[in-house]
Structure 1
C-alpha cells in the first residue's frame, strides 16, 4: 500500500468515537457524547415540512443547487438566528454549511498554512483541535478561568506569537460549560481589530440557556470584520440534517464558497429547505420551549447527584445552559478511570485531557454530558461514578460502584 500523506501523521480518531463503540453494548449509561436527546427531535414537524416541500418544489430541491446555498435559508438565518443575537448582516455574508464542522475545515483551507500559529482556549472542542492538527497549525493554548478565556493572557499571546486565528466558544463552552462575560467579549473584538486577528466564534449552544440573561456574541461587537460566527442547527433541531452556517465579511464568504465547491459542491438542498421552512414557519420558539425545560431538568438532576455522591475534593462547573459539566478530581487518573467506569460501573464519560492542545497536568479533568441520557438514568449513573471517584480520591467509599447496585 502507498504511504499515507504526512499530514495524517499523529492524527487519531476522536475520543467520542470510542464512546459510540461502548454504546453498542446496550447496557452503558453514557455521559460521554454530545448528542441531543432523541426526544428533542421535531419529527412530526419535519415530516409535514418535507411533504409540503416535495409537493411544492420537489424537482428543484432534488436537483443540484448553488454552492452559495439555498437563498431562503440564508434569509431565514439572517432574520431568525442572527438578528435576535444583535448581528445584522446581508445575505451574501452567510454561507450555509453541511454541518458547522465543515466551516472550520473551509476556514483552515482558506486561511491556515502549515506552521501558522492558532490560539485555542484551554480546554476547547476536541473536534476542532483535530482539524487544526490536520492542517499543520501550531497550537497555542490561552488559559481560562470561571468567566471563560482570560483576555489579558489572550492579548499577551497575540503580541508574542502574532497568530493567524483565535478559536473560541464563548457561550456554554464545550467542554467546560462556561460563558465569557460581556466585557470580555467586547475586549476580544477590540483585540481582533487592533491586531488584525481572525476570531472563529463557534456558537452552537447560544439558544440552550436555562437561566440567566442571554449575551450577544462577539460578532455583535465586531467593527473590523475580523470575527467569523459559526452557527449550527444540530443541537436545536436535529444533527442528522447536517445544516450549519458561517457569517463573515463578503470577501471571506466568497473565498470559503470557492473552497466549498471542491469539498461537496453544495450542501443538500432538501435539508437546507427543511431548516429554512422550520424557521420561516416560526417553529423554533416552540421547539426551544419544549426542549429547554427538559435539558434544564437533566442538568439540575446531574448537579444534584454530583453534590450528593462525588467526593468533596472534586470541583465542577455549574453552567447556566449548554450540554456539559466540566470537573476535576485532584490526583485522579482519568485515562485509567474511564476504563474502570465502563467495565465496573457501566458508565461512559470523556477524560478531560482530550480537550487540550497541551494535555500535560490535565490527568484529573473530565467532561460529563447530560442531554443524551434519559432522566431516570442520571442519578444511578452519577451514583456509580461518584463511588469510583471517591475510591480514587482515597476517601471512604460511601456506595458500591458495581452496575448491579
Structure 2
C-alpha cells in the first residue's frame, strides 16, 4: 500500500478543476472559469516576436537560464509596469516566476512553517487554500464589505492570531471584483510594518480597468519592506506563456531564488523573452485598450442581464474592472444544488461561493460569475437561463 506524505492529506482536488469537467461539455455556457478571452491573445505580434528572438538570439534563449529570471524582462517590467505606477525597485528586487501562482508557493516556502497563521480575505481566491494547507498553515478569514477588507477586523485578527502573512487581492478581487480604497491600502501597509507581518499583494487584474480611477498598489506605501507584490502576464498577454513576477526586498528575492532552484531551475527563457520584447516594442498600451474595451462590453452585458433576469432581491457587485461578478441570491438558496441543476438542465456553469470561503457559511448564498470567456450574446443567453432557474427555485421555496 502506498504511503503518501502527510501533507498530501491536506491538499484536496481544486473545486474549479471539478467544475471544469462539467464545462467540458461543448454545449455548456461557462461562467465558471477565470480565463481571458481567446480573442484577446496577440497571436500575430507573438508570432513576429518569436521569429525575431529565435533568429537573432536563438542559441541563448533556448539554453538554460538563470533562476532569478531573464534580465531584459526584469528591466522591461520595471520600466514599463513598476516605475510608471510609482513603485520603487531594481532588478535585484525582482524574480520571474512560472506564473504568479508559483510566486505564492515560493513565498510559502520562504516564510511559512506548520502552525503559522495566514490571514485571508473572505471570500478569496480558492487556490491559496490548497497551497497553505500543504504547509499545515491555518488560514484565518478576515471580513470584507462592499469595499474589500475591513480594517477593524484585520487589525483585530492580527492582534489575536499573530499571523506570519496577510494574503490580499486588492484590485478587482477574485472572486468579488471589489477594489480596496486608497486609505485602506495605506492602512494595510502601516499594519504590516507595525506588527511585522508580510503582506502578499496579489495583483493580476490591476491593468484590466474599464472605468473609475486608477489606485496605487499597496506596495507604493510600503516603508519597511513588508509588502511583496505579485504580478502576472497571464491576463494581460497570455496565460499559456506562464510568466509572472515577484517584487520584494532583495533579501526576500534571494530566499525565493533558492526555493525556485529546487522547483524548476528557471522559468522558460523563450516565454520570458517574448514578454520582454512585447513590453519593449511598446505593444502593451494599445493591447490593453483593445482588450479592456472588449471586456467592458461583456461586463456591461452581464450586469444588465442580471438586473433583467435574476430574481428580485438579488445582490451583486458592479466592478470597475477585472473578470468577476459576485452574486448573492435572495432567501435561503441551496447554491450547490442549483449548480448541479444549472449544469445538467440549463447547460450553464458557475462557481458556488462556498469554495472561496474558509467558513462555508460566508458564501452559502453566493456564486461567482466570469464574463471574459463568453460572447455578449452567450452572456445574455446564459444569464437568462440562470435567472429562470433561480427565479423558479426562489418561488418554490
TM-score, normalising length from structure 1? 0.96
1:68 Cα deviation after fit: 1.0
Contact 2:122–2:356 (Cα < 8 Å) also in 1: yes
Corresponding residue for residue 378 of structure 1: 379
Corresponding residue for residue 172 of structure 2: 172
Matched, 1:6 2:6: yes
1:95 Cα deviation after fit: 0.4
Corresponding residue for residue 259 of structure 1: 259
Distance 2:63 2:218 in 1: 37
Distance 1:193 1:259 in 2: 25
The alignment partner of 1:325 has SS state of strand
Distance 1:352 1:363 in 2: 6
1:149 Cα deviation after fit: 0.2
Distance 1:255 1:147 in 2: 34
1:332 Cα deviation after fit: 1.1
1:18 Cα deviation after fit: 2.1
Corresponding residue for residue 90 of structure 2: 90
Distance 2:192 2:242 in 1: 30
Distance 2:306 2:2 in 1: 50
The alignment partner of 2:142 has SS state of strand
Distance 2:81 2:262 in 1: 27
1:361 Cα deviation after fit: 4.6
Distance 1:85 1:153 in 2: 29
Corresponding residue for residue 231 of structure 1: 231
Distance 1:235 1:14 in 2: 20
CA RMSD of aligned residues (A): 1.0
Distance 2:353 2:10 in 1: 19
Distance 1:236 1:74 in 2: 17
Distance 2:292 2:358 in 1: 32
1:360 Cα deviation after fit: 2.5
Question: Which runs of 5 or more residues in structure 1 are unaligned?
Answer: 397-405
Contact 1:316–1:328 (Cα < 8 Å) also in 2: yes
Corresponding residue for residue 196 of structure 1: 196
Contact 1:311–1:395 (Cα < 8 Å) also in 2: no
Deviations 1:350-375 (A, max 9, x none): 00000011212522110000001122
Corresponding residue for residue 400 of structure 1: none
Distance 1:52 1:122, change over 3 A: same
Corresponding residue for residue 353 of structure 1: 354
1:395 Cα deviation after fit: 6.8
Corresponding residue for residue 79 of structure 2: 79
Corresponding residue for residue 122 of structure 1: 122
Distance 1:96 1:340 in 2: 42
1:24 Cα deviation after fit: 2.1
More divergent stretch after superposition (127-136 vs 276-285) = 127-136
Distance 2:84 2:38 in 1: 27
Distance 1:331 1:338, change over 3 A: same
Distance 1:138 1:10 in 2: 11
1:23 Cα deviation after fit: 2.6
More divergent stretch after superposition (34-43 vs 312-321) = 312-321
Deviations 1:358-404 (A, max 9, x none): 212522110000001122100010000001111222279xxxxxxxx
1:11 Cα deviation after fit: 2.1
Distance 1:11 1:66 in 2: 31
Contact 2:356–2:363 (Cα < 8 Å) also in 1: no
More divergent stretch after superposition (358-367 vs 298-307) = 358-367
More divergent stretch after superposition (358-367 vs 35-44) = 358-367
1:17 Cα deviation after fit: 1.2
Corresponding residue for residue 321 of structure 1: 321
Distance 2:8 2:375 in 1: 37
Distance 2:63 2:148 in 1: 44
Contact 1:120–1:166 (Cα < 8 Å) also in 2: yes
Question: Which runs of 5 or more residues in structure 2 are unaligned?
Answer: none
- Count of residue pairs brought into register by the alignment: 396
Deviations 1:119-146 (A, max 9, x none): 0000000011211111111111000001
TM-score, normalising length from structure 2? 0.98
Deviations 1:207-254 (A, max 9, x none): 000000100000000001000000000000000000000000000000
Q: How does 1:6-405 map to 2 (within 5 A)?
A: 6-329=6-329, 330-394=331-395
Contact 1:118–1:167 (Cα < 8 Å) also in 2: yes
The alignment partner of 2:263 has SS state of helix
The alignment partner of 1:393 has SS state of helix
Contact 1:189–1:219 (Cα < 8 Å) also in 2: yes
Distance 1:327 1:283 in 2: 35
Q: Which runs of 4+ in 1 moved over 3 A?
A: none
The alignment partner of 2:262 has SS state of helix
Distance 1:271 1:306 in 2: 39
The alignment partner of 2:141 has SS state of strand
Contact 2:123–2:362 (Cα < 8 Å) also in 1: no
Corresponding residue for residue 402 of structure 1: none
